[in-house]
């Protein structure tokens, strides 16, 4: 187009500072055979949600939010230069929900078996997607430790409503993919879970930290203790970030919002700490519904979580 | 509670003009054995939708919108006094979409077989619910005529994505529940349907009226002609109102909005005309997503459509 | 309705986890003669507000928000099982504001005299409702201590504009229902009150804690000191929660929002502490306008305040 | 401020095309003794409304919307040059609603007795303000004809809830300020009024035109007939524009919105026709709630109604 | 990626009906040397606007809205198959507005000189972009006729504020690029233009049709007459669509919205008629601000205008 | 207007508590020759912004937000009584951006040379306005220290896009108006700046504090240290508050929002501390876009910042 002056391709950001790399530029469609430090897969599944959820729109909202960030951490004086190999989104059939759970599992199995990436970033979707992801990764790597940030246990019985976003960890336990001591839950909130599931968590020996525990003990100390414990048994740790662990002021775009939650600074610190552990090899981010979000604030937090994760790994 | 002054039950409208009946007061939970002129069922199914839809929230949004209306038509000088027997909503499993289609069919079969009502009002949900409703009513009454108000043919192939909101009439044809000449489509819009489905409609001998036809020929004349034709073969006529037949200015809360559509006055006139035909025995209203609506405008149109229907029957 | 399959009553939440009790299920309409631990009354009065306010819609918004919570506190390992006896809302005449103040007083007098509940929860409405409530309760129990969370003194003169939401505590003082030393104000904010009322507060010996005091001294320590002081003179303590004590980030739906306020965690801790004192027998929650709220966040905080209150009492 | 370059007074529109007069510039605060063609008074009263209403904010919203218009009609090739003498807003006490009705009456009596303007424009507020306005003007000018554009009769009984926005014309009749034949109601909508009030209108010999009448007979013909009839008995005609006569697509900011109403072009034509009658001497515009409006669309219609009125008078 | 199951490229619409072509798929980035029936250029310039405008975001919003449409017209029984060669957007410097006007002119000169397309579609931006476009096309084709749909004359003097969106046609006249008889203005609205510019239009012999003219004479008849007249002198006709010619109910996302405008059906008919004239060779669409639009309604109208234009040319 | 009862001038707040002074009442249009403690100028320039910004609307939004505050600090037990001399807004040409930068500089030079105020408050606009302000004040007072609260360095190269809101401090350095050691940047955020500018900052010896530094070291300690350092060399300190230094939960109305930022309490404390230093003589507040703000929250923070500044000076 050399002879036409001033024209740029449609849809691309028209202003370009020559010294700035946008974090989104790190995303590259994966081509067969390629290997790298980070791989990313979108899991746009939210029809299993108990309440109406548009979380299927989150993977693109989060990718788009990465446009708002640069690749440079001044605090660490480090430039992120590793590409994120973007495997795209798993295809979701409009009407076959159970089939979609299986599709997620098959797709992620194939993805993980490519061994294309050292670290995986999975973008939900609602929390039901973690079942497929953890099942696939466990078959690949053997038993793993799991650190779940969440206001909820997600241990509901599966007879009422099937494999919803309230059941992923229950199903992992019932299908013997994990045992309770593999699972750490941080940020569990009062009046947000039924007694039966609190007791189930205790019976199963799940390690539970309420918001009061986080306030009293501190995020750093909890993570140190639990990572140490998990490392003794497991080679890999999987981090599952349900964004509703944050207070509604900091994550207004989750389906289940409420007060008394975590602030975003504390979560970001936690992610940074975890990423610095070499055992942490995968992280999912779930339960963001862009259709009810305000100025995409919650997707922006998610993009920042990804960058903290990458900073910890650099 | 007689000795406490000024207290009213919580949640009820606190102001009451003694001479005004709200249209919503016509709704009464049905009790076994009861019979009446109107029966209503909520079909809160929208997970089959191709694009993200909250139409499952519409049945209650529409019931609630009936609170905004009185029971009196000044134009007809007639008071609506017949109760609407409210059968409630069909239970939808959070994860079993195909099972939900079957549940809709079973529930509506049972409902229609009660013969509790002379006329039925069905509140979607997305347009996929019409399949179950028309199948159930056809088994009960034999072949019926169908008048569908819609910007879309809803004749998509069923291999791509299963029984979505784009396929109900295709599935009725392929399952031999109806033949094409039973179906009249009014308000079909340019650049809103694929050529393949336009041609399929012609092959199947479906009677199609575009928005241009509505503008040129007039709603009244189209309906006179088609009702006359259908009456010669069928005892019953079923009306299916996809609210996106309206222009986006009049129905801002449909998932698929656009310009160049019908104004609400024309639709309301059409419904009134049809209701006055004794062969018209059921009407569904679909494709309203309260989560994207503006001041519940689209649910208000739906409530008004119900009242026009009842006025025509009185 | 046994022979019809899959049908549920209209408008009720269709998904039900058999092990979860929603906090809203604790609400039961009071029947004469019933007694219990908690009683609740809605005070939907906001026409006295100086600026345009929809706080009259808050009682139902808060009741509705209780649907988002369960009845179980994992932190206290305690299930809330006590019913909340719901006395409904006080009838408000559309045009007779002064009469409405009187109606509130009469209704609450009658309510308190039923002695149906050990603890009372009152849902405004704007802050003007506290006058009626405190007057009625004082006549019943004798002098009481009052702990008011608020950004404002609410001690405006009553000549300018009558008994508005800016005057309840002034009127209580002028009508000799309380003296200043009975009243503790916490969270008073800079540039949010006139000098005249600051000085009036000092003259009347009201105990005032600004936001700076809360930051420096800490909520817990302030409450310990003041509860101790009040207990020496009064048998009962009344808590009045004006939600605008919170920073606008945490309570975006108050009429008078602003920066520099309390975070919700601090308020929730305070309520929990107070509820654990047996002298605290009533609490009102006021100044939430659901028409300007964002995703009902502020009503959600209110529902959580109620649950903390109940947890403290269990 | 001559030596400082580029500074303009704060808050004034900074761009100025030297050839354009904004319609708002026609507004001038009235000074005692001044006379002119148009007088305007704001009546910011909406606390009498049955449902929650922010119509008290409309007078300024409408004045502000006049900033969007020029003073020139290309269709009439006429420049509006007459000042609008702005008398300001009537003071409304925050808590004394009945007193406010009286204040409106006293203020408007005083205003009309100044004889400062040939034509009066009154900006509500809810429809309850018309009572005071018509009472005051009738005492001044003797019996008058009234043309009311409205979806509602506004003839509710006054025992239920006092002098609300549903009762102004009932109260005028019961207080013998008008008789039914003085009143013409245009745009009355189905299912929006109780039967009792339809019958009351007939008994009182009020001239009622439904939306169906408007569609069939045409606005122009209705007005010709009724103006002719009213002129034979009355020297003055008063026009009362309840903006909810418009369909919700055209007036999204009224408290009581709905489908099946008038389009704005038809209303504007009607106002222009009426203004051209010399007997028409006053017009009120009511029931706009800027807090629920979308991009001030409804206030923009109101400003346009004022300009059509002035064009008709020029 | 063949061995990984179910994965689709990120960000692409995941559901695909094999028989449906989305209108957006007709857009193809232009490569040097390519020729075709339609060329499209984005002109993202809105900083010249008198009032704050985000119209620079419209080219992509309109392209995106084409995703909502298919390529098939049932009314014409015609499939659109011609590609739209998308030249991208002209680069706009963040601070050099006058330079940007020049850049638009240079870029469009170059674009038009490629002779790559038979028909051009230009997407603003605000109306100031039409100056550059018409200047460039006139230099290429000689004098042309112009049909402008607009509520405004856009003939403001250029001393006050420079080359804003209020001046494009004035500047074309003053720079002798066109004479007044070349210009037809349709939809000019009362109280939306200054008298001085009405008179300037008359002096310059511009053909002006107000909204009243459109209502009385009809769109079709106006266009027939003017196209006939223009064809006698000019080989080419340029259509300029300022979306604010529509009533605010139909185009809520224009910076200058108001009542009393055109409905979308009338505009779409007009565009279809014009496109069928072989002399019409270019069309711009301007004054859509996606940041204030509601559900992208106004961009959807624009996309539909493009499709009507293409249908007329097929 | 003495003989008309109840009438108030249009547009003024109708309710008035006789003891309350609104902070906005401190604003008085400056008249030549007047002197005082505070002067204020609006700098409504946002067209230089890299991304679409409505910050030009902020000066009036902030002035308006001062209506929400009183003049009294209970914490300091001090009434603000000093007038703010309001110089109005600098005139901005709609199309001449570079000229506008120059206009800002000329206007502020003139303003500062009046020596009318001891302390200056400047309301942007985007951050590009600080260049003109600091240039003008430096020419007046000699070299000054600058404390910038910001998530960004604002040190972009000026070849790409000219003098945007990303370049003011770069341009001050390149034009030798300041040297790097004069500049302190507080609140710089990770992944929000390019590496090149981090390094440029270090080379230039700019004092940079990241958000992690603020969390670890504390605002108070950072300011003590830097103010001490600056005082040794410079007589004057200029404070530049880019509101996006706050977390998106606290300042939702900035163009560039994100998580991990400062809370409003910390910023307000910092401003109060700085204002108490006599060397601090001017403060600008920039990067608030009222068109994307939520309930004017961000403008409310700005108004509060002004009051803290004044409190520190009293
Ligand atoms: Ca979860
Ligand atoms: Ca959760
Ligand atoms: Ca359909
Ligand atoms: Ca449809
Ligand atoms: Ca208060
Ligand atoms: Ca308060
Ligand atoms: Ca009315
Ligand atoms: Ca009305
Ligand atoms: Ca224009
Ligand atoms: Ca225009
Ligand atoms: Ca900055
Ligand atoms: Ca910044």
Strand, helix or coil at C90? strand
pLDDT tens, residue by residue, D137-169: 999 989 999 999 999 999 998 887 789 999 999
Distance of residue B25 Cα from the nearest chain C Cα, in angstroms: 14
* Ligand number nearest to the C-alpha of C127: 5
Nearest chain B residue to D292 by CA distance is: B295
What per-residue confidence (pLDDT) applies to C14? Answer: 53
φ, ψ dihedrals at B8, nearest 5° = -120, 155
Distance F75 CA to ligand 5 centre (A): 18
Mean pLDDT of B205-216: 97
Report the 3 state secondary structure along F74-126.
Answer: CCCCEECCCCEEEEEEECCCCCCHHHHHHHHHHHHHHHHHCCCEEEEEEEECC
* Ligand number nearest to the C-alpha of A124: 1
What per-residue confidence (pLDDT) applies to F65? Answer: 96
- Residue F9: pLDDT over 80: no
- What are the chain D neighbours of E259 within 8 Å (beta carbons)? 250, 264-265, 268, 297, 300-301, 304
Contact A90 E42 (CB under 8 A): no
- How far apart are the C-alpha atoms of F19 and F24, rounded to whole Å? 15
Distance of residue D212 Cα from the nearest chain B Cα, in angstroms: 7
Touch A-F: 3+ C-beta pairs under 8 A: yes
Distance E166 CA to ligand 9 centre (A): 6
- What are the chain C neighbours of F271 within 8 Å (beta carbons)? none
Distance of residue C103 Cα from the nearest chain D Cα, in angstroms: 14
- What are the chain D neighbours of E294 within 8 Å (beta carbons)? 294
Under the banding of pLDDT at 50, 70 and 90, the label for residue E1 is very low
E13 touches chain A (CB under 8 A): no
φ, ψ dihedrals at B309, nearest 5° = -65, -45
Give, to the nearest 10 degrees, the angle between helix B264-275 and helix B297-313: 30
Residues 267-296 of F with CB under 8 A from E: 291-292
Distance E287 CA to ligand 11 centre (A): 30
D260 touches chain B (CB under 8 A): yes
Distance F242 CA to ligand 11 centre (A): 5
Distance of residue F17 Cα from the nearest chain C Cα, in angstroms: 6
What per-residue confidence (pLDDT) applies to A216? Answer: 95
- What are the chain A neighbours of F249 within 8 Å (beta carbons)? 249-250, 264, 297
A14 secondary structure, DSSP code: S
Contact B44 C14 (CB under 8 A): yes
Distance of residue D300 Cα from the nearest chain F Cα, in angstroms: 17
Under the banding of pLDDT at 50, 70 and 90, the label for residue D10 is confident
pLDDT tens, residue by residue, E221-276: 999 999 999 999 999 999 999 999 999 999 999 999 999 999 999 999 999 999 99
Contact B190 E297 (CB under 8 A): no
- How far apart are the C-alpha atoms of A230 and D142, rounded to whole Å? 91
C111 touches chain B (CB under 8 A): yes
Choose among F196, F252, F260: nearest Cβ to A294.
F252
Mean pLDDT of D110-114: 95
- Residue D2: pLDDT over 50: no
Asked if residue E27 lies in contact with residue E66, where contact means CB atoms within 8 angstroms, the answer is: yes
Contact E88 A8 (CB under 8 A): yes
- How far apart are the C-alpha atoms of C193 and D274, rounded to whole Å? 51
Q: List the Cα angle D58/D62/D68 in 5-degree steps.
A: 150
Touch B-F: 3+ C-beta pairs under 8 A: no
- Residue A7: pLDDT over 80: no
- Residue F201: pLDDT over 70: yes
- Share the mean pLDDT of chain B: 94
- How far apart are the C-alpha atoms of A223 and A207, rounded to whole Å? 11
- Residue D271: pLDDT over 60: yes
The annotation status of F152 as a binding-site residue, yes or no, is yes
pLDDT tens, residue by residue, E77-103: 999 999 999 999 999 888 889 999 999
- Residue E14: pLDDT over 60: no
pLDDT tens, residue by residue, B80-123: 999 999 999 999 999 999 999 999 999 999 999 999 999 999 99
C13 touches chain A (CB under 8 A): no
What per-residue confidence (pLDDT) applies to D102? Answer: 95
- What are the chain D neighbours of F44 within 8 Å (beta carbons)? 14
Mean pLDDT of F241-251: 98
Nearest chain D residue to E162 by CA distance is: D17
- Residue A2: pLDDT over 60: no
Asked if residue A38 lies in contact with residue A85, where contact means CB atoms within 8 angstroms, the answer is: yes
**b/e per residue, D96-125, with b = 16+ CB within 10 A?**
bbbebbebbbbbbbbbbebebbebbbbbbb
Q: Which residues of C are annotated as a binding site?
A: 127, 150, 152, 154, 242, 244
Residues of chain C with pLDDT under 70: 1-2, 11-15
Contact C258 F300 (CB under 8 A): yes
F259 touches chain A (CB under 8 A): yes
Contact B52 A48 (CB under 8 A): no
Of chain A, the percentage scoring pLDDT greater than 90 comes to 89
Cα distances from C87 to residues B7, C27, C34, C67, D303, in angstroms, run 7, 10, 11, 18, 46
Contact A268 F256 (CB under 8 A): no
What per-residue confidence (pLDDT) applies to C117? Answer: 97
Under the banding of pLDDT at 50, 70 and 90, the label for residue D4 is confident
Of chain D, the percentage scoring pLDDT greater than 90 comes to 87
- Which of C139, C125, C112, C131 minimizes the C-alpha distance to C173? C131
Contact B114 C4 (CB under 8 A): yes
Burial class for C166, CB neighbours closer than 10 Å (0-12, 13-18, 19+): buried
Under the banding of pLDDT at 50, 70 and 90, the label for residue A160 is confident
Strand, helix or coil at A119? strand
What per-residue confidence (pLDDT) applies to A15? Answer: 67
Contact C6 B106 (CB under 8 A): yes
Domains and CATH numbers, chain C: 23-313 (3.40.800.10)
For the CA atoms of C58, C59, C63, C64, the dihedral, rounded to the nearest 10 degrees, stands at -40
In terms of pLDDT, which residue wins out, A13 or F167? F167
Distance of residue D91 Cα from the nearest chain E Cα, in angstroms: 31
Mean pLDDT of E67-86: 95
- What are the chain D neighbours of E193 within 8 Å (beta carbons)? 70, 72, 74
Identify the helix (H) or strand (E) that includes residue C147: strand C144-149
pLDDT tens, residue by residue, C82-130: 999 999 999 999 888 999 999 999 999 999 999 999 999 999 999 999 9
Residues surrounding ion ligand 6 at CB below 5 Å: C 150-152, 242, 244
Under the banding of pLDDT at 50, 70 and 90, the label for residue D36 is very high
What per-residue confidence (pLDDT) applies to E158? Answer: 85
* Ligand number nearest to the C-alpha of E169: 9
A301 touches chain F (CB under 8 A): yes
- Share the mean pLDDT of chain E: 94
pLDDT tens, residue by residue, B10-24: 765 556 788 888 999
F309 touches chain C (CB under 8 A): no
Choose among A47, A48, A96: nearest Cβ to B162.
A96
- What are the chain D neighbours of F94 within 8 Å (beta carbons)? 15
Q: Which residues of C are annotated as a binding site for Mn(2+)?
A: 127, 150, 152, 154, 242, 244
Contact A57 B56 (CB under 8 A): no
Q: Which residues of D are annotated as a binding site for Mn(2+)?
A: 127, 150, 152, 154, 242, 244
- Residue F3: pLDDT over 80: no
Mean pLDDT of E34-39: 97
The annotation status of A153 as a binding-site residue, yes or no, is no
Other C-beta atoms lying within 10 Å of the C-beta of residue E79 = 15
Distance of residue F79 Cα from the nearest chain C Cα, in angstroms: 7
- Which of C63, C84, C72, C65 minimizes the C-alpha distance to C20? C72
Identify the helix (H) or strand (E) that includes residue B281: strand B280-286
pLDDT tens, residue by residue, D210-267: 999 999 999 999 999 999 999 999 999 999 999 999 999 999 999 999 999 999 999 9
A75 touches chain F (CB under 8 A): yes
What per-residue confidence (pLDDT) applies to B93? Answer: 92
Cα-Cα-Cα-Cα dihedral sign, residues F211, F215, F219, F221: negative
Return the number of CB contacts < 8 Å for C and D.
Answer: 53
**b/e per residue, F130-169, with b = 16+ CB within 10 A?**
bbbbbbbbbeeeeebbbbbbbbbbbbbbeebbbbbbbbbb
Touch E-A: 3+ C-beta pairs under 8 A: yes
């Amino acid at each position: 187009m050399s002879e036409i002056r001033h024209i740029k391709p449609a849809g691309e950001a028209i202003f370009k500072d020559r010294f700035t790399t946008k974090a989104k530029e790190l995303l590259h469609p994966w081509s067969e055979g390629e290997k790298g430090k980070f791989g990313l897969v979108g899991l746009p599944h939210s029809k299993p949600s108990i309440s109406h959820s548009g979380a299927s729109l989150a993977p693109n909202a989060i990718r788009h939010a990465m446009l708002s960030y640069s690749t440079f951490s001044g605090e660490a004086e480090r430039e992120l230069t590793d590409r994120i190999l973007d495997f795209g989104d798993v295809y979701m059939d409009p009407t076959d929900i159970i089939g979609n759970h299986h599709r997620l599992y098959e797709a992620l199995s194939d993805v993980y078996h490519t061994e294309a990436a050292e670290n995986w970033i999975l973008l939900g979707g609602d929390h039901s997607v973690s079942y497929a992801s953890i099942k696939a990764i466990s078959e690949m790597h053997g038993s793993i430790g799991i650190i779940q940030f969440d206001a909820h246990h997600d241990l509901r019985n599966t007879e009422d409503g099937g494999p919803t976003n309230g059941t992923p960890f229950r199903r992992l336990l019932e299908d013997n993919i994990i045992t309770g001591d593999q699972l750490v839950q941080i940020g569990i909130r009062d009046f947000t879970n039924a007694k039966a599931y609190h007791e189930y968590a205790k019976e199963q020996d799940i390690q539970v930290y309420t918001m009061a525990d986080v306030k009293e003990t501190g995020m750093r100390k909890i993570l140190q203790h639990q990572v140490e414990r998990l490392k003794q048994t497991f080679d890999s740790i999987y981090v599952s970030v349900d964004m509703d662990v944050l207070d509604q002021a900091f994550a207004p775009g989750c389906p289940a919002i409420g007060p008394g939650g975590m602030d975003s600074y504390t979560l970001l610190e936690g992610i940074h700490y975890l990423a610095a552990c070499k055992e942490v090899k995968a992280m999912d981010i779930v339960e963001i519904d862009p259709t009810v979000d305000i100025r995409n604030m919650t997707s922006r937090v998610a993009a920042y979580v990804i960058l903290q994760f990458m900073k910890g790994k650099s």
